[in-house]
Structure 1
Amino acid sequence: MSLVKYEIFSKVAELGNFTKAGEVLGLTQSAISHAISSLEKDFGFALVHRSKNGVKLTSEGQTMLSSMRLVIQAEEKLKQEASNILGVTKGKVRIGTFSSISSKWMPNIIRILDQNYPGIKIELHEGDYYEIEQWLSDGDIDCGFLNRSHSKQFRFLPLIRDELLCIASSQSTLYHKDTIDIKEVEAEPFILTSYNGTNDVLAIFYRYDVKPNIRFELFDEKGVISMVEHQLGITILPQLVFDQLPYNVRAIPIQQESFRTIGLASKYQLSPATEKFIEVLQSWLSTNENVTKVE
């Protein structure tokens, strides 16, 4: 069976639409449909449900997708190993990332890779912790940034300690303090950054038995900061997610130990291109004075 058909099926599964998959792969909708039908004929059962709203995988299709992606990954790793033997690092690295890493780290790292290893192509997938871990489990990405890994099937490489800070406006009773006790958070309305996966702020509250008065929950950190700016409450955010705060807003250190550990999760068997990406990432972090490394 053709590896190309596996790649087509994987893209259809990702996008849920024959036409969109064709646009990405440079194929007609008819060619995509023919490839899927050919696979179904080869296997002897349906892989997708077709409807006006797009396509959805059958249970058999979902099972086969995992195996096909393993074959695709093995083929990619084989090509990269051959290039590596020839002394030319080539290949694609699919990376799961979240917004602060995308904006603060990745431009610098991609620039270094482009200059030194032009044969390596980087593909970014942005989501939250839960999505990144799920993409890694499903084989959609080669590695991903997480605050921790809950699965033994992944290697987790701790990278930095990102301090959690209290963010308060000039109308807050905390605004002029040099540091705050984490229990002081209970006295004011709290704006919580909400996302899927382990929430670093809620974990800190649980550790120190803090019961915040949560007024709003927002996914976007910029929205959270805007709420604080308009004096609707206080928040706690990792230092990495913000640069310049509004003129009437301060970031205040917390007396108790409060931080998140950012690391890179990956499968234990790495392709040469992924190994090179990790090497460049660690080298860049070692020379960056604005991050606190994990000892």
Structure 2
Amino acid sequence: MIIEVNYMDITKYEVLLKVVDRGGLSQSAEDLGYTRSALSKMIASMEKEIGFPLVKRTRKGIVLNEEGERVVPLIRELLKVNTILEEEYLMIRGMSQGKLRIGSFPTMAYLLMPDILKGFNEIHPGIQIEVVEEHSLHQLETWLKQGIIDVALFSRESYHEFDWIPFMEEPYVALIPKACTLAEKEVISVEEMFDHKLILFKTQEGYDQDMMKFQEITAGTKEADYNTNSIYLVQKMVAYDNCVSIIPLSVAEDTAKWFPVEFRKLNTEVKRTIGFAVKHKENVSLTLREFLRYVKKARQMYIGK
């Protein structure tokens, strides 16, 4: 029995991944500049060529079926290799083009990415960059492992096995209203923070390892009055509802520029390390390699500020 293999064009693979990552045709069509029917036909054509379906339609949108779950990781690897090959062609011809997808916590994207993107674009204006914001660390980790994003900007956790490019280290501080009695102190104890109306940052997955350290100080005898995954709510609650919070120094400094709040050192020092994570540094595209090289340069400039 002879099996004929048809090698479809890369575009169909890219369309499939976009639809799966987005979970539907409407947003994918808008992102790619196609009509919904065009995308649907491309996926149907690809499934016909390979001889079996890869996706199924559910109430939540378009998702991979069992066969798709087996095939899509290989498709992602194929597209990565294709990207590396295309970039090599471009470099040989003396051109600088490419695409890069960065996942990040919203606060880090807001505070760090503008200067990094501006500087990188001045050197490599032909490279297209997409920044995807996500509150969930687990989601960012999953996207990075699956190749949905090329690099992730987040705080390092002890269990991480990603290749890591550190960018900055900073302590957590007490964020308090200007009129708060705690403002009279230069250093505030963690226990005192829990004695006030405390709001802490917490995702749907729970507290991260840094927040857990503050919880351990009280031996679990005290809890925050409010928990949220929105830094904007933290800022407003501290500024206008007499709450207090424990947040990273860079976020506190920015908050103090726009709201009637102050920040103080804590009697217990807990730091977080911010950086860029990649799946494997030795197996990245030229575009990502250039970006990571620039990040290392930008880090020195950031430290020197």
Asked if TM exceeds 0.5, the reply is: yes
Give, as a single letter, the amino acid of the residue that structure 1 aligns with 2:285: S
User: Which residues of 2 match residues 1-295 of structure 1 at below 5 A?
Assistant: 1-2=7-8, 3-50=10-57, 54-128=61-135, 129-149=137-157, 150-152=159-161, 154-196=162-204, 199-206=208-215, 208-211=217-220, 212-242=222-252, 243-245=254-256, 248-268=260-280, 269-289=283-303
Residues 1:247 and 1:156: Cα distance change in structure 2 (over 3 Å): closer
Shift of 1:52: 7.5
In 1, the alpha carbon distance for the partners of 2:225 and 2:146 equals 36
Contact 2:198-2:224 within 8 A present in 1 as well = yes
Contact 2:104-2:132 within 8 A present in 1 as well = yes
In 2, the alpha carbon distance for the partners of 1:52 and 1:196 equals 23
Deviates more, 1:63-72 or 1:204-213: 204-213
Shift of 1:229: 2.0
Contact 2:188-2:266 within 8 A present in 1 as well = yes
In 2, the alpha carbon distance for the partners of 1:59 and 1:16 equals 16
In 2, the alpha carbon distance for the partners of 1:201 and 1:53 equals 34
Provide the aligned length of Structure 1 versus Structure 2: 290
Shift of 1:244: 4.1
Residues 1:15 and 1:250: Cα distance change in structure 2 (over 3 Å): same
TM-score (norm 2): 0.85
Give, as a single letter, the amino acid of the residue that structure 2 aligns with 1:101: M
Contact 2:23-2:61 within 8 A present in 1 as well = yes
Superposition misfits of 4+ residues, deviation over 6 angstroms: none
Contact 2:199-2:244 within 8 A present in 1 as well = yes
In 2, the alpha carbon distance for the partners of 1:101 and 1:87 equals 33
Residues 1:140 and 1:247: Cα distance change in structure 2 (over 3 Å): closer
In 2, the alpha carbon distance for the partners of 1:204 and 1:158 equals 22
Give, as a single letter, the amino acid of the residue that structure 2 aligns with 1:281: V
C-alpha offsets along residues 242-291 of structure 1, whole Å, 9 cap, x if unaligned? Answer: 41426642201112222211111002112111111112122122112577
C-alpha offsets along residues 41-77 of structure 1, whole Å, 9 cap, x if unaligned? Answer: 2333222223687423212223322221111111111
> Paired residue for 2:4?
none
Contact 1:201-1:236 within 8 A present in 2 as well = no
In 2, the alpha carbon distance for the partners of 1:109 and 1:230 equals 33
C-alpha offsets along residues 178-217 of structure 1, whole Å, 9 cap, x if unaligned? Answer: 0122232232231011225662542321453454431111
**SS at structure 1 position matched to 2:186:** coil
**SS at structure 2 position matched to 1:168:** strand
**SS at structure 2 position matched to 1:27:** coil
Residues 1:213 and 1:230: Cα distance change in structure 2 (over 3 Å): farther
Residues 1:240 and 1:170: Cα distance change in structure 2 (over 3 Å): closer
Identity of aligned residues (%): 28
Shift of 1:143: 0.6
Superposed CA RMSD? 2.4
Residues 1:25 and 1:231: Cα distance change in structure 2 (over 3 Å): closer
Runs of 5+ unmatched residues, structure 1? none
Contact 2:165-2:296 within 8 A present in 1 as well = no
Shift of 1:235: 0.7
TM-score (norm 1): 0.88
Contact 2:180-2:242 within 8 A present in 1 as well = no
**SS at structure 1 position matched to 2:117:** helix
More helix by share: 2
Runs of 5+ unmatched residues, structure 2? 1-6
